[in-house]
Amino acid sequence: MGQCVCTGKPGNPRRRHKLRKLVLEDLLKITKFNEDEIYEWYEAFLQAVPCGKMTYSIYQELVLKAVFRRGPENAEASGAKLMHHLDLSFRQYDVNGDQTISFREFMVGMSISTKGTLAEKITWAFSLYDIDKDGLITFEEMHEILMLVEKAYGNARSKKEMEKFVHCIFNFLDADHNGVISVQEFLAGLKSKPEIFEFFTGTSDVLTAFHICDLKSKS
- The stretch 199-207 carries a mean pLDDT of 67
- CB atoms near residue 152 (< 10 Å): 21
Asked whether 186 and 122 are in contact (CB, 8 A), the reply is yes
- The stretch 97-104 carries a mean pLDDT of 93
Superfamily of structural domain 118-219: EF-hand (1.10.238.10)
Residue 42 pLDDT exceeds 80 = yes
- The stretch 190-216 carries a mean pLDDT of 71
Residue 13 confidence (pLDDT): 44
* Greater model confidence, 30 or 7: 30
For residue 178, give the DSSP letter: S
- Of 88, 105, 86, give the one whose Cα is nearest residue 96: 105
- The reply to whether 118-219 shares the fold of 19-116 is yes
Of 71-80, 97-106, 143-152, where does mean pLDDT reach its minimum?
71-80
Domain locations in the chain as residue ranges: 19-116, 118-219
For residue 131, give the DSSP letter: T
The CATH number for 19-116, chosen from 1.20.1090.10, 3.40.50.970, 1.10.238.10, 2.60.40.420, is 1.10.238.10
Residue 209: how many CA atoms within 13 Å on its side-chain side?
27
Of 73-77, 79-83, 118-122, 144-148, where does mean pLDDT reach its minimum?
73-77
pLDDT category at 88 given cuts 50, 70, 90 is confident
Please give the backbone phi and psi of residue 98, each rounded to the nearest 5 degrees, phi first.
-95, 15
Q: Between the ranges 78-82, 95-99, 169-173, where is the mean pLDDT highest?
A: 169-173
Task: Kindly tell me the burial class for residue 202, based on how many C-beta atoms sit within 10 Å of its own C-beta (0-12, 13-18, 19 or more).
Answer: middle
Residue 4 pLDDT exceeds 60 = no
Residue 219 pLDDT exceeds 50 = no
pLDDT category at 193 given cuts 50, 70, 90 is confident
